[in-house]
Amino acid sequence: MGGTPGMVNSDAISFFRGAQLRTVTLSDRLSSVIQPFIQEVLDQLSALGNFGQAILSAAQNHQPIVEQFFELNPNQVETSFSLQPQCLFPKANPILALEYRNARYPAFLVPAGSWTINDEATLPDLQHLLYLCGQSKLSYDQICDQVAAPMVALLDHWIASRIVKPQSLSPYTPPPAGVFRLQHATLLYRTRTTGILIDPHLHSSYGLPQLEQDVTRAKLEGCVDAILISHSHYDHWHCPTLMMFDRGTPIVVPKVPRGSITCDDMQARISSLGFKQVIAVDWNSEPIQIGDMEVYVLPFYGEQPLVPGYDQPKYPELRNWGNTYLIRYEDYSSWCLVDSGMEPAASMIEVAQQVTQRFGSVDQIISNFQGLSYNSIGRDLSRWGVDIVANLLSNPQILALTNTEAGSYLATVGPREVAEICAIVGAKSCLPYADSGAELGQPSIHDGILIPQVEAELRRLGCPTQVIPWAIGDGYLPSLQLCKHFFND
C-alpha cells in the first residue's frame, strides 16, 4: 500500500499485529453459561434418538442451569423447552468487559487482559481511547493529554499486552474508486471522495492472528465516511472496531424492534458508545446520502433458524434482524447480500424481483456463495461463537431436526440462488464474499469450489453475469479491472 510523503510521527501509537479485542455483554455471558447444556442436548439426541428424552437426560446433568434459565414442562417436554422470557429479552444487556490479547504471543509471555465496565456511562471514554489509538498518528503523551486517568491506565495495560505500540507509519493513500474485499465479511466501497465500510472487523477476535500482513485500522485512516452493519452475528458486528472510528461517523444499522439474546439492539448499543449519527430505518426507505454515494436499505431475509414445519420463532421479535444494502454512485450500482437467503415465509429471490422493479438492473452483486442450513452447524457447538446458541434458542424445537432431511433446508443463498438473483437483476458482475479470512492476496477457502459452481448455474440459466475471482485485499474498479495488493505493507 502506498504511503505519501508528509509528516510522520515516529512514535505514534497504533494497534499491534495480532492484537485481538472483543466486548462481552450480559447475553454473551449467559450464552456461554448455557452452551454446555445445549451441547449435551445435541449429544443425548445423537445417542438416544428422541428429542424429549435428550432434553430430560441433559437436564439431569445441568439442573442449576435449567432451573435458573429455562422453561420445561415435564408433561410437554419437547414443545415447552425454551429459555425463559427474561433471558430471551433481558431488561438490560450491558457490555460487561472489553477483553484483549495479542494472539501472536503465548499467554505466559504476554498476558491477555480484560477491562471491566462497571458503568456504561464510561463507554464513550473507552470509545475515545480506541479512536485515538486507531488514528495511528498520536504519540503516547498526546493521547494521555486527551483521556481521563482510567483510560491512561488502560493504555498502559494495552502497551504491556502488546495491543498497541509506538510505531513509525507513513500516512496511507486512500484507495481508488471501487469496492475492496477486506477480511471475511468486510467491504470498503470507495469513490474518489467518499468511503463506506460494511461489517468491519479490525484487530478483532475473529481475525487470523498469524497472517503475514493484514488490513489494519491505520490503513483505513481518512478513507471511511460511514459504516453499514448488515446483522448482529459476531462475524459482522464488532463493537471494538466501530469504536476505533470518530464518533461523528454515521453508522447505519438494522432496525431492531426489541433487543433480544438473538439480536442486539444495535442502534441503542452504538448510541451508548457515544456515536452521534446512528441510523436505523425501515427496509425500502428513501436512500441515505453519504458523500456522493446513495445507500438503499433493503430487506434481509434468511439466515434464521426456521425451516418448513418449524417456521416460527418462539416470539415474533426473535429474529436475526438484518439489512442488505444497495449502493449507487454515479451510474454504478452494487448490491451486497451479506448472509441473506431463504426462510419459509420469504426469500431474497422475491426481493431481487422487487429490486428490479424499483431500480431496473443492478450492475454488481456481492454475496456469500455458500448455502448454509441448520445442519451446517453440525453437532459440535464449540466450533462456533456463542451467538449460534443464542440464535438457535429463538426456535429451540429446531434442535430436534439435527442431521435430518428437514434440517438441510437452505437458509443462506448458495450457487443456485446467487445465479438466479444475478439473472433477475441483470448483474454484469458477481463477486464472492464473507467466506472467512485469508492472507492478503489470497482467496478465501471455498472460492475455488464455489466460483465454478456459480458459473455453472449461470450457464444453466443462460445468464451472462461474469463471476470475478478476487482475493482478500483486492479491489474491483469501475474500469472492471482488479486492483491488487493495495493494502499490502
Point out which residues bind Fe ion (CB under 5 A): 233, 339
C-beta of 45 vs 418, nearer to Fe ion? 418
- Return the sign of the alpha-carbon dihedral for residues 245, 247, 253, 258: positive
Closest distance to Fe ion from the beta carbon of 467 (Å): 22
C-beta of 17 vs 233, nearer to Fe ion? 233
C-beta of 217 vs 233, nearer to Fe ion? 233
Closest distance to Fe ion from the beta carbon of 236 (Å): 6
Contacts with 89 (C-beta within 8 Å, 6 or more apart), sequence order: 258, 259, 260, 261, 315, 317
Closest distance to Fe ion from the beta carbon of 426 (Å): 27
C-beta of 264 vs 339, nearer to Fe ion? 339
CA distance 142 to 137: 9
Closest distance to Fe ion from the beta carbon of 134 (Å): 25
C-beta of 162 vs 233, nearer to Fe ion? 233
- In degrees, rounded to 5, the angle at the alpha carbon of residue 69 between the alpha carbons of residues 64 and 70 is 100
Report CA-CA distances (Å) from 433 to 188, 401, 403, 418.
Answer: 12, 29, 27, 12
Closest distance to Fe ion from the beta carbon of 231 (Å): 6
Contacts with 228 (C-beta within 8 Å, 6 or more apart), sequence order: 196, 197, 198, 199, 251, 252, 295, 323, 325
C-beta of 137 vs 233, nearer to Fe ion? 233
Closest distance to Fe ion from the beta carbon of 385 (Å): 10
C-beta of 98 vs 185, nearer to Fe ion? 185
C-beta of 172 vs 325, nearer to Fe ion? 325
CA distance 69 to 81: 11
Closest distance to Fe ion from the beta carbon of 303 (Å): 5
Closest distance to Fe ion from the beta carbon of 139 (Å): 39
List the beta bridge partners of residue 412: 341
- In degrees, rounded to 5, the angle at the alpha carbon of residue 156 between the alpha carbons of residues 151 and 159 is 125
CA distance 242 to 206: 14
Cβ atoms of 452 and 480 closer than 8 Å: no
189: phi then psi, degrees, rounded to nearest 5: -90, 135
Closest distance to Fe ion from the beta carbon of 421 (Å): 17
C-beta of 203 vs 233, nearer to Fe ion? 233
Please state whether beta strands 364-367 and 332-338 pair in parallel, antiparallel, or not at all (unpaired): parallel
* Amino acid at site 54: A
Please state whether beta strands 226-228 and 195-198 pair in parallel, antiparallel, or not at all (unpaired): parallel
Alpha helices for 360-478 (secondary structure H): 387-392, 415-425, 447-461
Closest distance to Fe ion from the beta carbon of 73 (Å): 32
C-beta of 167 vs 408, nearer to Fe ion? 408
C-beta of 40 vs 417, nearer to Fe ion? 417
CA proximity to 432, closest of 395, 390, 393, 466: 466
Measure the N-to-C terminal CA separation of the chain; round to a whole number of Å: 5
Report CA-CA distances (Å) from 322 to 232, 260, 289, 299, 421.
Answer: 8, 14, 20, 7, 18
Closest distance to Fe ion from the beta carbon of 233 (Å): 4
